[in-house]
Amino acid sequence: MNANPPKVYMCVICGFLYEEEKGLPEHGIPPGTRWKDVPENWTCPDCGATKDEFEMIEI
């Protein structure tokens, strides 16, 4: 059992999901990139919200 499974973070503004397991290759974020490793200046591709506007959700 993985002690640190990939997590999912949701934009509280528009509902966009960032899945650590999938990353966002089309935005230069490879699969498996942890949320803490996503650049601080990254913004939601759908609405432009900052990382501060995302919350971890349970899947």
Annotated binding residues, written as ranges, equal 11, 14, 44, 47
Q: Which two tokens stand for residue 13?
A: 């503004």
CA distances from 39 to 28, 31, 49, 50, 53 (A): 10, 14, 13, 10, 14
Binding-site residue set for Fe cation? 11, 14, 44, 47
